[in-house]
């Protein structure tokens, strides 16, 4: 139902509302006339809405579900970070507006961490911007650099925010398929030259959600050269760099020579420190790109709560002490679940990073039919690969965001379907 909201109908509503003889039903009809913007009308269905609906339906029926569909850590935020927030929340200085770009102390903590972790030097004042979670920065970057009709290169399967935010800014998403035959890396050689010449932004995400692939440094080296050749802004989304296994430490895009000349990297404390609800992230890299994003942000938000930023400083300064225990839990879960799944017939390559498994569906099934079958027959909730784009067909994503015992039980349920 589309509603008509116009100056005339609004004025009519005001006149009618002052007339006591007008029936209440007429007033109600007029008050509810509204039309949404074209960007909302053209918005594709939220990819996880149907899955959420089915989960609620089965829960209402009393079904005992094991939910492995959500990329939200079930582990608690480390206690020192929580304690820091509690103390910082009592400080009067944190009850006022924070600096738009983030506090100087937090930006300096980001630079210290990047230097320790990746060997990358950053200027805290021109090359670091604090975000209310990296998601808002990824969405807002388009308003700074994309005009209507501009092309944005988007990986598929991939994070739905990339194409949706592109469309919000009037841009045109051009999909870069991630196939198993190319290790789930985009094949730049097949991108048409006319598309590359028109592209404003290229989105990348490694370690990758949903495929769990970690990109080699040589890949990023090639991206830098490609971006320079075609004058493309690279936006690398890197929230999973600290969730890795078997000592395979993922690379930062900014480690590649010349990377700061062409792009920025988005990072988040959400996955590294189990802080998804805290909404704290940052963008780092090219000063001019950071400046553009900052100009958008200062006009649409007022920054993150100062107490959360103080907790972020503690987290980054003590990352080497806090995250090994988190990685250990996920590695144990990964190993236990993959071992238990060997009897199910699913093909799963053990990931080197992230807390996801990208599993091929059995022959004769689609991503959707497989996910539905597991939900209906086993009470195990997974995400169909097509929720991340058509190129995700043939796969399901399994999140290791449940206790080891639950993962073992999920595997047993799947074995019982054989």
Q: What is the pLDDT of residues 68-81, one digit of tens each?
A: 998 999 999 999 99
Q: Could you read off the pLDDT of 90-147 as tens digits, one per residue? A: 999 999 999 999 999 999 999 999 999 999 999 999 999 999 999 999 999 999 999 9
| Sheet with 281-285, edge to edge strand ranges | 128-131, 281-285, 263-268, 233-237, 199-205, 151-156, 172-177
On whether both 59 and 86 belong to a single domain, the answer is no
On whether both 310 and 257 belong to a single domain, the answer is yes
Q: Is 370 within the bounds of a domain?
A: yes
Q: Is 43 within the bounds of a domain?
A: no
Stretch 261-287: mean pLDDT: 98
On whether both 158 and 91 belong to a single domain, the answer is yes
On whether both 21 and 115 belong to a single domain, the answer is no
The mean pLDDT of the chain is 92
Q: Is 2 within the bounds of a domain?
A: no
Whether residue 1 is predicted with pLDDT greater than 70 in this model: the reply is no
Q: Is 284 within the bounds of a domain?
A: yes
How many structural domains is the chain composed of?
3
On whether both 161 and 309 belong to a single domain, the answer is yes
Which helix (H) or strand (E) is 154 found in, with range?
A: strand 151-156
Q: Could you read off the pLDDT of 83-92 as tens digits, one per residue? A: 999 999 999 9
Whether residue 53 is predicted with pLDDT greater than 90 in this model: the reply is no
The CA distance from 366 to 375, in Å, is 14
On whether both 335 and 265 belong to a single domain, the answer is no
**For 11-15, 84-88, 282-286, 297-301, which range has the lowest pLDDT when averaged over its residues?**
11-15
| Sheet with 356-360, edge to edge strand ranges | 347-348, 356-360, 395-399, 383-384
On whether both 167 and 226 belong to a single domain, the answer is yes
On whether both 123 and 215 belong to a single domain, the answer is yes
At residue 246 the predicted structure's pLDDT band, cuts being 50, 70 and 90, is very high
On whether both 55 and 193 belong to a single domain, the answer is no
Q: How far is CA 152 from CA 155, 206, 294, in A?
A: 10, 18, 20
Closest listed residue to residue 204, CA positions, set 280, 273, 138, 111: 138
**Enclosing domain of residue 315:** 79-320
Q: Is 25 within the bounds of a domain?
A: yes
On whether both 245 and 358 belong to a single domain, the answer is no
């Amino acid at each position: 139902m589309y509603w008509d909201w116009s100056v005339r109908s609004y004025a009519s509503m005001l006149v009618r509302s002052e007339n006591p003889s007008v029936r209440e039903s007429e007033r109600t009809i007029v008050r509810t006339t509204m039309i949404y913007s074209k960007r909302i009308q053209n918005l594709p269905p939220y990819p996880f809405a149907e899955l959420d609906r089915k989960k609620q339906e089965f829960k209402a029926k009393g079904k005992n579900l094991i939910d492995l569909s959500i990329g939200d850590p079930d582990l608690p935020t480390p206690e020192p970070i929580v304690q820091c927030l509690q103390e910082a929340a009592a400080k009067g200085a944190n009850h006022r507006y924070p600096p738009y770009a983030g506090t100087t102390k937090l930006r300096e903590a980001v630079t210290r961490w990047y230097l320790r972790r990746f060997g990358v030097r950053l200027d805290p004042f021109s090359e670091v911007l604090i975000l209310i979670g990296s998601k808002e920065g990824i969405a807002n970057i388009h308003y700074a650099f994309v005009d209507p009709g501009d092309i944005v290169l988007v990986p598929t399967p991939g994070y739905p925010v990339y194409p949706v935010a592109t469309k919000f800014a009037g841009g045109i998403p051009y999909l870069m398929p991630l196939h198993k035959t190319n290790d789930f890396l985009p094949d730049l050689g097949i991108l048409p030259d006319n598309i590359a010449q028109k592209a404003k932004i290229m989105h990348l995400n490694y370690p990758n959600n949903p495929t769990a692939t970690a990109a080699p440094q040589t890949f990023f080296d090639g991206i830098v050269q490609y971006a320079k050749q075609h004058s493309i802004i690279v936006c690398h989304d890197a929230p999973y760099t600290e969730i890795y296994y078997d000592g395979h430490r993922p690379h930062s895009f900014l480690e590649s020579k010349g990377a700061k000349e062409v792009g920025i990297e988005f990072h988040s404390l959400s996955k590294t420190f189990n802080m998804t609800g805290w909404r704290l992230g940052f963008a780092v890299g090219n000063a001019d790109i950071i400046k553009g994003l900052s100009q958008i942000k200062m006009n649409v938000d007022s920054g993150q709560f100062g107490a959360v930023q103080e907790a972020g400083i503690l987290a980054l300064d003590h990352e080497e002490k806090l995250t090994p225990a988190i990685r250990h839990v996920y590695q144990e879960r990964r190993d236990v679940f993959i071992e238990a799944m060997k009897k199910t017939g699913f093909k799963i390559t053990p990931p080197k990073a992230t807390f996801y498994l990208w599993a091929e569906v059995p022959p004769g099934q689609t991503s959707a039919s497989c996910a539905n079958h597991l939900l209906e027959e086993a009470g195990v909730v997974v995400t169909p690969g097509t929720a991340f784009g058509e190129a995700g067909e043939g796969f399901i994503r399994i999140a290791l965001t449940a206790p080891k015992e639950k993962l073992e039980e999920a595997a047993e349920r799947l074995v019982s379907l054989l």
